[in-house]
Structure 1
């Protein structure tokens, strides 16, 4: 299983910036499917606080539409893999892609996550 966070304003799309998004949705994803684990409000937290919120949820991969270089470095240093999109993308579409990757041929970074999770 992989824990994934999506910075989202509408809970349907990856449509929020890491630094200004008001919430993120956390999903558990495996080869059989995916399920919403929770929606976490970010409040007034800045970069360190947001990274800590992700760590508290045991997130492995984080999606957003934008993230600055310093924030991305802090996310990576916390052993969370950031994925940035330039345009709005459906959360369900990404979850389906991730599920298929895990079930068929996961890329090395996902294999590493799966091995670490046992």
Structure 2
């Protein structure tokens, strides 16, 4: 497994670090356990940066969770129960979609939430980062 860093800045307080399981870098379209890559973005009220593309070379849940250890939220189309428990226990909030969804559209939704009234789980992530 390897990670390709595009931008090495750590997320600022109040910004979210979000990973999307994707096969084409445009859509959330991969199962967590069989994803070959995760597109990682820093998302804030007025910014969106691509941070890195995490390439997954081995099907090993523990290694994948370790590579995602700095992520706040991870999106995918499906996940097994054991993998879900491992990411939740690592402090990563999982979001599952039943079908393919555009990464760009999801980023717009997150930005809108951050600029209006974020749901409790996002408020909790931001508070944890500020502490």
- With structure 1 as the length reference, what TM-score do the two structures score? 0.96
CA distance in structure 2 between the partners assigned to 1:85 and 1:96 by the alignment:
16
After superposition, the C-alpha distances for 1:50-71 in whole angstroms (9 at most, x for unaligned) are 100000xx10000001101111
CA distance in 2, matches of 1:19, 1:7: 9
RMSD: 0.7
Give the deviation of 1:33 after TM superposition.
2.6
SS for the counterpart of 2:25 is coil
The ranges of structure 1 where at least 4 consecutive aligned residues each deviate by more than 6 angstroms after the TM superposition are none
Consecutive unaligned residues of structure 2, counting only runs of 5 or more, are: 1-14
Select the residue among 96, 106, 111 that pairs with 1:84.
Answer: 96
Which residue in 1 is equivalent to 2:49?
35
Matches within 5 A, 1:1-118: 1-55=15-69, 58-118=70-130
1:65-117 deviation digits (Å, cap 9, x = unpaired): 11011110111000000001110000000000001101100011100111121
Q: Where do 5+ consecutive residues of structure 1 fail to align?
A: none
* Aligned-residue offset at 1:34: 1.1
Tell which deviates more after alignment, 39-48 or 8-17: 39-48
Kindly tell me the number of residue pairs found equivalent between the two proteins.
116
Offset at residue 45 of structure 1 (A) = 4.0
Residues 23-48 of structure 1, C-alpha deviation per residue, up to 9 Å, x if partnerless? 00100011113111010101114111
